[in-house]
Amino acid sequence: MAEKPTVIAVQKALEGAKKRNFVETVELAINLKDVDLTIPKNRIQEDIILPNGRGKVVKVCVIGGGELALKAKNVADLVITPDEIGGIADDKKQAKKIANSTDYFIAEAPLMAVVGKRLGTVLGPRGKMPKPIPPGADPTGMVDNLRKSVTVRTKDRKTFHVPVGTVNMPPEEIADNIDIVLKRVSLKLEKGIANVASAYVKTSMGPAERIL
């Protein structure tokens, strides 16, 4: 059986990349066409669960108290209680450090307004506003899904990059991740895949291989 074009492109990208002394990310670059991204409703911001995960550690922070905080202690990388929100917000350096080192935030639903007011200026521009969770809920499933997720965020740019794995993952797994991302992105576009001008796969520092 012939290999899928996506797998072949990934193999070429991995073969063309120089060996580095760190684990490089594999990225999907998507170029859109015939889409007016100056109109906010046309922009894409979507969390996509990759079938084979990111191939790297994805850090998740849970903001909540009581039962939720207790349940989150064993599954989240960081737990921020309601009492700690103000102190972090007042310490801009600490707030930025947490925002930069954490991939996703989950917040107890009743705290969303407070988090938005106090930490929105740090989290908003980074596209990291928390996802709500009911008070006392078990965050394990949500955290596990986020650890396998990527966020597609176009803003007003027609070209954007999405991490789809790392160089030490099998090409077939990276290709499956790419196919899912392209499918989900096309569902968000008015003309579907016809709005995608081109798509390339590359390691973060390596040459690009065309997929579409």
**What burial letters (b/e) apply to 2-33, b meaning 16+ CB within 10 Å?**
eeeebbebbbbbbeebeeeeeebbbbbbbebe
Span 47-61, pLDDT tens digits: 999 999 999 999 999
92-101 vs 112-123: helix crossing angle, rounded to 10:
90
For residue 125, the tally of other CB atoms under 10 A from its CB is 10
Please tell me whether residue 160 adopts helix, strand or coil conformation.
strand
Span 88-141, pLDDT tens digits: 999 999 999 999 999 999 999 999 999 999 999 999 999 999 999 999 999 999
Residues of the chain with pLDDT > 70: what percent?
99
For 5-53+150-210, CATH gives 3.30.190.20
As a whole number of angstroms, the distance between CA 49 and CA 63 comes to 21
Contact between residue 182 and residue 12 where contact means Cβ atoms under 8 Å apart: no
Residues 6 or more apart from 58 whose CB is under 8 A from it? 103, 104, 146, 147, 148, 149
CATH 3.40.50.790 fits 60-146, yes or no: yes
Q: What's the average model confidence in pLDDT over 17-27?
A: 94
Q: Which of 52, 71, 70, 72 is nearest to 62 (CA)?
A: 72
Whole-prediction pTM value? 0.90
Check if 5-53+150-210 and 60-146 are the same fold. Answer: no
Mean pLDDT of the chain: 95
Q: Where are the domains of the chain?
A: 5-53+150-210, 60-146
Please tell me whether residue 171 adopts helix, strand or coil conformation.
helix
